[in-house]
Structure 1
Amino acid sequence: MTTFVDRVELHVAAGSGGHGCASVHREKFKPLGGPDGGNGGRGGDVMLVVDQSVTTLLDYHHSPHRKATSGKPGEGGNRSGKDGQDLILPVPDGTVVLDKAGNVLADLVGHGTSYVAGEGGRGGLGNAALSSARRKAPGFALLGVPGGFQDIVLELKTVADVALVGYPSAGKSSLISVLSAAKPKIADYPFTTLVPNLGVVTAGENVYTIADVPGLIPGASQGKGLGLEFLRHVERCSVLVHVLDTATLESERDPISDLDIIEEELKQYGGLGNRPRMVVLNKIDVPDGKDLAEMVRPDLERRGYRVFEVSAVAHMGLKELSFALAEVVAEARAAKPKEEATRIVIRPKAVDDAGFTVVQEEDGLFRVRGEKPERWVRQTDFSNDEAVGYLADRLARLGVEEKLMKVGAHSGDGVAIGPEENAVVFDWEPTSMAGAEMLGRRGEDHRFEAPRPATQRRRDKQAERDESQKEYDDFEPF
């Protein structure tokens, strides 16, 4: 039973950020020493990283749910929470990352290439970080942002220079076993190759890789046999080599018709028309095979193919084939554009970009979308009136309230912040302090004000006594 897996669906979830802490420093003779709540730690990312030692996606087939660790919450004494650990998922070279709709998210080629499949949530700020000259004693902290999650599909496309294609039992596995050190399964029945085999070939100073793809049959591009499942493994190859059986026992087959059928399947699959082709007439150690190879060779050469007569069993014609493949691979590598040095691209925002949008929907609801307002909502503890008021202040400074008025929102209209599946909905009051008006200036505590001079305290007490005496003197009994 094969253990090769080249396509899996993976469910990844990054770690959530830790909550900030709301705390006040206390010590002997200093009961209100100021806010000292620490920040929450950030959540860990989920990263896909190419690892040359990994050749299959089998691990993710058995365990498709992966989650990074979350950040720890902050604590008093200005102690920040610990960050969550990033989750590194090693994948084979040539892995393509797609979303559920089939859109390509990343093409991971080259050792160390990485893709962040899930971004960890940022930690919430503690009340020490939220304090300022105006907000000296915040009685709240920000919540951590939930980590990103998504369902992705991983597809493996073998990274090789040469791909051997042909009918089952044409001798592809035998050929790769003698050209390289690969040891594929070889037998005298069809479909002995159930997974792509990869070998490394050395021809003089040139080193290249060669892949043996499971046999193709008519209808492979539509899913018949094993062809469609593994045709993706020839997409990255620079050279396609048709391995034709000159000693087949099936009377209705011959090398020319086999070539035409395989070419039609490659055409139906698409995307391979510009790859250089070569033809290998295999099994010339059999007398009838040698005669048939000499018969069809002129026809193949008239079609423009370079033709090689070989025998994988008798090791005939292999040296010439190996060096010819090295020459074509070298030409293909030279024709590829050179990779440019990594450039830092700066894309400044437009001057009129407010960072959010406000749209009135058909049911009359006003929906606010934007990275900042949506994140601020997720960070707000709605059980704390002061935190809600702080959110209202942030939205007002961003211009959300002004924008709502411009698009026609009135007092009492419904406003939603965020997407439909995860939105916060409330009735909008333009001048409302979001339930925090009774708190005075948000985050301000008179107990933290600088002490008044003794003379000023005496004057204030005398003024209070005078006021009390005046009220007594003006009192008229019934």
Structure 2
Amino acid sequence: MTTFVDRVELHVAAGNGGHGCASVHREKFKPLGGPDGGNGGRGGDVILVVDQAITTLLEYHHSPHRKATNGQPGAGDNRSGKDGQDLVLTVPDGTVVLDRQGNVLADLVGQGTTFVAGQGGRGGLGNAALSSARRKAPGFALLGEPGEARDIVLELKTVADVALVGYPSAGKSSLISVLSAAKPKIADYPFTTLVPNLGVVTAGSTVYTIADVPGLIPGASQGRGLGLEFLRHVERCSVLVHVLDTATLESDRDPVTDLDIIEEELKQYGGLEDRPRIVVLNKIDIPDGQDLADMIRPDLEERGYQVYEASAVARTGLKELSFALADIVAKARAAKPKEESTRIVLRPKAVDDAGFSVTYDEAEDVYRVRGEKPERWVRQTDFNNDEAVGYLADRLNRLGVEDALMKAGARAGDGVAIGSEDNAVVFDWEPTMMAGAEMLGRRGEDHRLEAPRPAAQRRRDRDAERDDAQREFDEFNPF
């Protein structure tokens, strides 16, 4: 049964915003007291949070679809809808977040580091919030925005100071077991280790972590063995340790050739050229192993490697190795720049930035309007409500979309699409949209809320309506 997963594809969906409410206050002796529709609640976010107690992405391997809760709709009597609850997903330290194209969205290192993977939708405004001196009683409300939905890839890269690399059965797990308190599985057959092992080593005043990469064989960088799956776990290390088996039973192998092959695989993988290397000649407790170590050590030192002889079984050479690694790790930590506190970067918009763009799409024969505000306003509009559509037209006009369409060459009857190609609202453009108020009357002014007419005026109006009706009847019935 799988117990370790270091790469998953996660489908996240933030909560939708609640719709605003269109309501008119009513009470005894005051049946039409004005708009009182509340706002919709905000949809919940999907948030990734680092938890160092977690070491695998197994949970998301079994349940890759995650969704936050929606915001509740507003109600009358100025009652706003409840906000959706954020969905917090804990991930291991060292998790990298990528999109489906492989672009890095976030690198989560350190306890409590967070990343908003899906932004919750805004709640729609109710008609109480939309009312003004000119728009006393809006007969519409804004819809809630849909939450952000996307597919992301989570990759776990172990946060370790020292990485052990080498052929299967070279003794990497045995070294970790004696250098630290880790208890990896150890056996006398290849590919015993199926997941990276991580241990903590204390050498003097320096405490560092050590990990191994299982299954490195020729062709690992192209996917052979297990190397490609786990090479990412050495990317954050400060030093690479080549563990060479000096007592191998395979006649076609020798430690120097093993070193050259592993170095070639690391070169093909890339990104590790600047890491210092140490060579450990392991299993010197075996007589033939000690003899072979004495033969190849001068050649390795001539290449510039620091060479240490060790035996995990006899526990020889371990102290010198652990202190040598601690020295390299301490120097690497000192060379790193100190982490600065979080800074807020302000990127003001250009003075001539209109906030939208208008382009002509020859393939679709439409003028396409793209921009955060126009697209958001379209999502918030209830197109079954004429007054809401007119309100959208006024907002677009104030933003300058009408003028931009004219400058782009749009004429009456041309198609205009607001939004992306796969999710756009398309309509036939009429310049009269600039006068949206004239199309729908004096929008937002509810005559029911006007002061009552005097009795004499009401009688005159009734008599005029009756006379008009009688005149129309006489015209169609001359006999």
Provide the rounded CA distance (Å) in 2 between the counterparts of 1:465 and 1:157.
82
The offset of 1:113, in angstroms, is 1.2
TM-score (norm 2): 0.94
Alpha-carbon displacement from aligned partner over 1:361-395 (angstroms, at most 9, x marks no partner): 11421110000000100100111110010000000
- Give the match for residue 33 of structure 1: 33
Q: Say whether residues 1:448 and 2:449 are aligned partners.
A: yes
Paired position in structure 1 for 2:377: 376
Q: How does 1:32-431 map to 2 (within 5 A)?
A: 32-362=32-362, 363-431=364-432
Asked if 2 retains the 8 angstrom alpha-carbon contact of 1:388 and 1:436, the reply is: no
- Report how far residue 165 of structure 1 moved: 0.3
Question: Shift in Å at residue 461 of structure 1?
Answer: 6.7
User: Any unmatched runs of 5+ in structure 2?
Assistant: 469-477
Q: Are the aligned partners of 2:397 and 2:434 in contact in 1 as well (CA < 8 Å)?
A: no
| Letter in structure 2 aligned against 1:423 | A
1:438 to partner: Cα distance: 5.7
Q: Distance in 2 between matches of 1:54 and 1:389?
A: 53
SS at match of 2:39: coil
Q: Deviation per CA, 1:313-351, whole angstroms, max 9, x where unpaired?
A: 111011111111111000011111111222221111111
Distance 1:464 1:38 in 2: 37
Amino-acid identity (%): 84
Residue-by-residue CA offset, 1:98-120 (whole Å, 9 max, x unaligned): 11111111111111111111100
Structure 2 SS opposite 1:232: helix
Please give the alpha-carbon distance, in whole angstroms, between the structure 2 residues aligned to 1:360 and 1:223: 46
List 4+ stretches of structure 1 deviating above 6 A. 433-436, 461-468
Instruction: Give the number of equivalent residue pairs.
Output: 470
**Residue 270 (structure 1) shift:** 0.7
Give the aligned residue type for 2:297: R
Letter in 1 for 2:430: E
Moved more, 215-224 or 181-190: 215-224
Q: Deviations over 1:373-425 (max 9, x none)?
A: 00100100111110010000000000101111111111111111001111101
Partner amino acid, structure 2, of 1:39:
N
Q: SS state of the match for residue 431, structure 2?
A: coil
Distance 1:68 1:226 in 2: 36
CA distance in 1: counterparts of 2:342 and 2:379, whole angstroms: 35
Partners of 2:189 and 2:248 in 1: how far apart? 12
AA at the equivalent of 1:61: H
The Cα offsets for residues 175-223 of structure 1, whole Å up to 9 and x where unpaired, read as: 0000001000000000000000000111111100000110311111111
Q: Distance in 2 between matches of 1:316 and 1:332?
A: 26
- Once the two structures are TM-superposed, the CA of residue 465 in structure 1 deviates from its matched residue by 10
The Cα offsets for residues 6-56 of structure 1, whole Å up to 9 and x where unpaired, read as: 111111100000000000100000000100000000000111111101110
Q: Secondary structure at the match of 2:184?
A: coil
SS at match of 1:426: strand
The answer (yes or no) to whether the contact 2:23–2:35 under 8 Å persists in 1 is yes
CA distance in 1, matches of 2:314, 2:458: 114
Q: Which amino acid aligns with 1:294?
A: D
Residues 467 and 13 (structure 1 numbering): CA distance in 2 closer, same or farther, change over 3 Å?
closer
Deviation at 1:441, TM superposition (A): 1.5
Does the C-alpha gap of structure 1 residues 458 and 302 become closer, same or farther in structure 2, counting only changes over 3 Å?
A: same
* 2:390 and 2:440 in contact (8 A); partners too: no
CA, structure 1 residues 259+462, in 2 after alignment: closer, same or farther (shift >3 Å)? closer
Q: Structure 1: how far apart are the matches of 2:230 and 2:217?
A: 12
CA contact (8 A) 1:127 1:141 kept: yes
- The one-letter code sitting in structure 2 at the alignment partner of 1:392 is A
Letter in structure 1 aligned against 2:282: N
CA distance 1:300–1:34, shift in 2 (3 Å): same
Q: Is the 8 A contact 1:42 1:84 kept in 2?
A: yes
Q: Distance in 2 between matches of 1:240 and 1:444?
A: 75
Counterpart CA distance in 2 for 1:198 and 1:54 is 13
TM (norm. structure 1) is 0.94
* Structure 2 CA distance for partners of 1:255 and 1:135, relative to 1, 3 Å: same
Confirm or deny: 8 A CA contact 1:165 1:215 kept in the other structure. no
Label 1:150 to 1:367 Cα distance change in 2 as closer, same or farther (>3 A): same
Which segments of 5 or more consecutive residues in structure 1 lack a partner in the other structure? Answer: 472-477
3-state DSSP of counterpart to 1:425: strand
**Separation of aligned partners in 2, 1:432 and 1:337:** 58
Where 1:281 maps in the other structure, the secondary structure is strand
Matched AA of 1:168: P
Tell which deviates more after alignment, 218-227 or 135-144.
Answer: 218-227
Alignment RMSD, CA only? 2.2
- Could you say which residue in structure 1 is the equivalent of 2:471? none
Q: Which moved more, 1:399-408 or 1:440-449?
A: 440-449
Q: Report the CA distance shift for 1:368/1:230 in structure 2 as closer, same or farther (over 3 A).
A: same
Q: Which residue of 2 aligns with 1:475?
A: none
2:394 and 2:436 in contact (8 A); partners too:
no
Report 1:432-443 matches (<5 A): 432=433, 437=438, 439-443=440-444
Amino acid at match of 2:181: A
Q: Distance in 2 between matches of 1:423 and 1:19?
A: 20
DSSP-derived class of the 2:274 partner: coil
